Copies of this chain bind each other. A is one copy, B any other.
């Protein structure tokens, strides 16, 4: 399994990296298909914005090196691979104080593409409701940063028959799922939660909003409750690796319609932004 740390092939990094000490990092999980980094520009843009928000400005030289290494890694990995790209605040600084100057660390690692059952995409999944409530932190909301204990706890509590689980905030708004974003469709309109208090704004979420718009389907970014999920015609989840999974069961509902989600999935496949089965 290929791992590059600041461009050097090594499975090791500093034990005193601020990514390890404080979770001061951002990361991307990129689908790689036939040596192509899917949605690479969107991933890179999100990485840069997130890094800046956690006090890690990235120089043009750093980004050029990162991009070069990502493309090089793509040519050396399996035909279908998950590339994790992590950028940390690097070493140094006494305690919480950021080092000045800061020398961020790049970590790129290739991982086997998960082999999810074909049914998840074709038939749909069972979506549970996690007991974990996401904490509200507007300064970190939307960012795919390295402070992910809530997701680790949530994942450890999935029931055996769940393929994903909704995460709510303390006010019981639906925010996202454990490792994906959530959408619902009702009366021909798509709704997805606001991520201004917590949650991760997925690259695939943005892409789906844009692609829905391109076929004349509006997406409204709103506060959603479990009642909205129950009242929906369709529910689906998305991330860069799974693409889109329709939800078959959630709460007491058995969702039958795939009208909008199947159109979107078709477009993801046609546009080659996710691997085919």
Contact = CB atoms under 8 A, between A and B. Distances in A.
A160 to B, nearest CB: 13
Interface residues of A, number: 57
A152 interface: yes
A119 B193 CA distance: 51
Interface string A7-21: 000111111111111
A95 B155 contact: yes
A150 to B, nearest CB: 7
A97 interface: yes
A36 to B, nearest CB: 22
B20 A146 contact: yes
A88 interface: yes
A73 B13 CA distance: 21
A176 B98 CA distance: 20
Contact of A15 (B3, B94, B95, B152): B3
A34 interface: no
A22 to B, nearest CB: 4
B14 A17 contact: no
A156 interface: yes
Interface string A142-162: 000111111111111000000
What is the oligomeric copy number? 2
A181 to B, nearest CB: 15
A137 interface: yes
A136 B139 contact: no
A54 B23 contact: no
A261 interface: no
A264 interface: no
Contacts of A153: 54-55, 139
B11 A15 contact: yes
Given A55-B156, A136-B170, A154-B96, A146 B22 contact: yes
10 contacts: A12-B14, A16-B109, A20-B20, A20-B146, A23-B148, A54-B152, A94-B111, A97-B156, A137-B150, A147-B147
Interface of A: 3, 5, 10-25, 27, 54-55, 84, 86, 88-89, 94-98, 107, 109, 111, 114, 132-133, 135-137, 139-140, 145-156, 170, 178-179, 198
